Amino acid sequence: MSQTDILYIVLAAVVAVALAFFMYGFRSKISTQRKWFFGSLRFLTLFVVLLLIINPKIENTTYQIVKPKLSIVTDNSKSINYLEKTEEVLSFTELLQSNTAIQERFDVDVYQFDDDITTLDSIDFKGIQTNIYKALTTVAQLHKTKQYPLVLITDGNATYGNAYSYLSDTYQHPVYTVAVGDTTGYNDLTVSRVNTNRYAYIKNEFPVEVFVNYNGNSQVTTTLKVSRGNRVVYTEPLTFSAGTQSKTVNFHLPADRVGVQQYDISVDALADERHTDNNVRPFAVEVIDNATNILLVSAISHPDIGALQRAIASNEQRRVTLTTPDKAMAAIEDTQLVILYQPDARFQQFNEAIDRIDLNTLYITGLHTDWRFVNEAQDDFYKRISYPEEVVQAKLNTGYAAFAVEDIGFSNFPPLHASLGNFESTRPLDVLLSQQVQGIDTEAPLLFSMEFQGRKTAVFDAENIWKWRAYSYTKTGDFISFDNFFGNFIQYLSSNKRRTRLEVTSKSFYNSTDAIKIYAQYFDKNFVFDSRASLEIAIKNTDLDQLYRFPMLLKNNYFEVNLSSLPAGSYEYTVEAVGENTSKSGVFEIIAYDVEKQFLNPDVNQLTLLSEKTSGKTYFLAQSQSLIDDLLGDNRFVPIEKSIQKTVPLVDWKVLLFVLIVLLSIEWFSRKYSGWV
C-alpha cells in the first residue's frame, strides 16, 4: 500500500469521525450512551464507504505446497503383446500410479505411447510403431521449466523416429527406465533393415541394401534369399560369429515388369533359433516406364538452387536437370516443366523457345529478378513494382483449388525476401500462399498458379526458399513435410492432364506400418472447391473379395480417409460424390510387415545408456518396490513451499459490502426500535 493511500485513509477516518459527531454528537438530545452507539455505527458506515471510494490496493500473500511432477510413460505398442508382458506392464503402471506414498510426494501424470503419445486412457497394446524419441521430447516440452523424473516403461525397441539414445546428452529430466521382456540370450538372426528406391525405371536395375544382424556366440552360416512370388531372384551365403554380428549386403535387381513388384528378403533359420518372424522382411518397388523431367534454369548461384533440386528429386519419379540459359536449349527435349529461377534478359532466347512449344513454367522470382524483362516476356501476368525490398511471410489459402494442400506450418516459417508490388492478370489467379508483412495481410500473392488452354504457369515471388526447407528439418528431424508440399506443387505443374471436377490422390502401394490415406477434392461447375459435397469411398479387397465403405472427412480444402485399419492385400477403390454422377477409381496395395514382431529381447543397453546419461536408473518389472523407494528417497524431488503474492483492489473484497449492509441494518433497526423512524 502506497503512502498516498495511507494519507487518504487517515483523511477518510477524520471525515467519518467529523460527520458522525455532527449527526449524533452535535446538539443531539439523546443520552450519552446512545450517542456513542449510533455515532460509532455511523462512523464505521461512512469509513467503509470512503474506503471503497479510495479503493487502496492490498497485498495478499498465500502459501501452498507444490509437488514435483512425476511422468509415467508406458509403451502401448504391439511388441509388448508379442513379448507376452501385457498383464505385468499394466500391473506395474497401476501399482506405481496408485501408490499412496508416491501420490503424497508427487503430482503424477500418466501417458501411453506408440507412434504418438497421449494421456493414458484405454491401453490396448495395439500400436503399430514405437517412437520413444517423440514420447520423451513431448513430455519434456510439457515440463521444460523444471527438472522432474520420468519413468519409461518399454522394451526399448524403437521402430520409428530418431534414435532416443542421442537424446540423453541434452535431456534435462532424469529418466528411470523399466525394461520389459526376457533378457535371456538366444541364437537369433534378424533382417533389420532394407534400403531401396520406391520407384525404378523399366529395363534398368535398382539398388538394394540389406542389414542382417546376429545374436549369438558360436559361428553360424546361413543364406540370404530374395524372392518374388515363388521365384528366388538372388541368393548370397552369410557367415556370422561372436566377432561378426552384423553384415551389410548390397546388390542390384532388374526392373523387368511395369507396376508394383513385391519382394521378400529372408535368411534361413538356424537349427536352434526360437524366433523366426524377424528372419523375413518384405519390400516393394514400383516400376514405371517413364519419368517426369524437370528443367531448372538459373544464371546465378544461390542456396535456393540446391534446396529446390533436393526437394524435387526426393521423389524418384522426377528427374531434375540444372542448367544455365545459354545451355538450356540442348536440354529442353522431353521436358514436362521448366523452372526459371530469377530470370533476366539472359533468358530471352530460351523463354521464346518454351513459349513456342507451350511448356508448363514456374517462375521463381526475387531480388535479382529483372521484372521489366519478365513482364515483356509473357502475357500471363504483369507485376507493377512500386515498393522496395521487404521480408514477407506466408499465409495459406485454404480455398486453393488445384490440388489438396496440407498446412505444414507456413505462418511459422522464416520470412522470405521479395520486392513488393501488385500483380495484374487477364486470367484468374489461383493463389496458394499470400503475403504477410509484419503480421499484416497484404492480399498480394506469394505463390500462385493459372491454367489457360492446357498450359500451366506459376509464380513463387520470393527468394531464400532454402530457409523453409532447413526450418522443416529443425522442427521434424527430416525434410519430408516441405519436400512433399513442394513435390505436390511440381507434380501438378508438370502434369498435362486436364483438371476434372473430382480429383483423387493416392499411392500405388503402402507399407502396413504407414499411415494409409487417400485424398480427394470436389469442385462445382465453375471449378470452385465445394466444401458442401459429400464424398464416399468404396474399397474392395481383391484377395478376399471383401467390400468396405467409408465416408471421406473434410479437412480445409480437401477430403481425407484413413485406411490404416485395412489388412494387407490388393485393393480397388472408387470415390464418388453422393448425389452426383461423378466418380474416380484406382488401385493400391498394402504390403504386409509387422515391425513390432521383429524383437525377441528388450534393448537393455540403450535403456541403460539413456538412464545413466540423464542421472536415472534402469529397472525390470520385478523391481517395482526398488523404483518406488528410489523415487521417494531422492532429495532432488521434494515438495516446496511456494508463496503467492497478489495485489488486490479493496473494492474486490465482497466482505466489505456485507459489513456495510450489516452496519446500515443495525442502525436502521435500532432507530426503529427507539421510535426515530
| pLDDT digit string, tens, across residues 390-442 | 899 999 888 787 777 888 889 889 999 998 888 888 778 889 999 988 888 88
Residue 65 confidence (pLDDT): 79
Query: Does the pLDDT of residue 224 top 90, yes or no?
Result: yes
Residue 187 confidence (pLDDT): 85
Residue 595 confidence (pLDDT): 84
Q: What is the pLDDT of residues 454-505, one digit of tens each?
A: 789 999 999 999 999 999 988 888 888 899 899 889 988 888 766 678 889 8
The average pLDDT across 376-396 equals 85
d(CA 196, CA 595) in angstroms, rounded, equals 17
| Cβ pair 266, 247 in contact under 8 A | no
Query: Does the pLDDT of residue 652 top 80, yes or no?
Result: no
d(CA 196, CA 440) in angstroms, rounded, equals 46
Residue 185 confidence (pLDDT): 74
CA distances from 295 to 337, 449, 573 (A): 6, 18, 34
Strand stretches in 67-137, DSSP E: 69-75, 107-113, 117-119
Query: Does the pLDDT of residue 103 top 80, yes or no?
Result: yes
Residue 28 confidence (pLDDT): 61
Q: What is the pLDDT of residues 391-405, one digit of tens each?
A: 999 998 887 877 778
Q: Is 621 or 452 the better-scoring residue by pLDDT? A: 621
Q: What is the pLDDT of residues 4-38, one digit of tens each?
A: 777 877 787 788 778 777 777 665 666 667 767 77
Beta bridge partners of 505: 519
Amino acid at position 273, single letter: E
| DSSP code, position 585 | E
Residue 26 confidence (pLDDT): 62
pTM passes above 0.85 = no
Residue 565 confidence (pLDDT): 86
Residue 677 confidence (pLDDT): 52
In this prediction, what percent of the chain has a pLDDT beyond 90? 40
Q: Residue 526's pLDDT band (boundaries 50, 70, 90)? A: low
Which range, of 117-121, 281-285, 592-596, averages the lowest pLDDT?
A: 592-596
In this prediction, what percent of the chain has a pLDDT beyond 70? 96
The average pLDDT across 574-585 equals 91
The average pLDDT across 130-156 equals 87
The average pLDDT across 244-271 equals 91
Residue 675 confidence (pLDDT): 65
Cell of 411: 505462418
Q: Is 357 or 643 the better-scoring residue by pLDDT? A: 357
Residue 676 confidence (pLDDT): 63
Residue 29 confidence (pLDDT): 65
Residue 615: count of CB within 10 angstroms of its CB:
17
Q: Residue 228's pLDDT band (boundaries 50, 70, 90)? A: very high
Intra-chain end-to-end CA distance of the chain, in Å: 40
Query: Does the pLDDT of residue 603 top 60, yes or no?
Result: yes
Beta bridge partners of 431: 448
Q: Is 241 or 676 the better-scoring residue by pLDDT? A: 241
- Average confidence score pLDDT of the chain: 86
| Ramachandran angles phi, psi of 621, nearest 5° | -60, -25
Angle of CA points 477, 478, 480, to nearest 5°:
140
d(CA 105, CA 66) in angstroms, rounded, equals 10
Query: Does the pLDDT of residue 644 top 70, yes or no?
Result: yes
**What is the β-pairing status of strands 517-522 and 430-437?**
unpaired
Choose the most confident range, by mean pLDDT, from 222-231, 414-423, 425-434, 595-604.
222-231
Query: Does the pLDDT of residue 548 top 70, yes or no?
Result: yes
Q: What is the pLDDT of residues 267-318, one digit of tens each?
A: 999 988 888 888 999 999 988 877 788 999 999 999 999 999 999 988 878 8
Residue 552 confidence (pLDDT): 95
| Cβ pair 261, 284 in contact under 8 A | yes
d(CA 210, CA 213) in angstroms, rounded, equals 10
CA distances from 141 to 76, 114, 317, 477, 640 (A): 21, 18, 38, 16, 22
| Ramachandran angles phi, psi of 255, nearest 5° | -95, 90
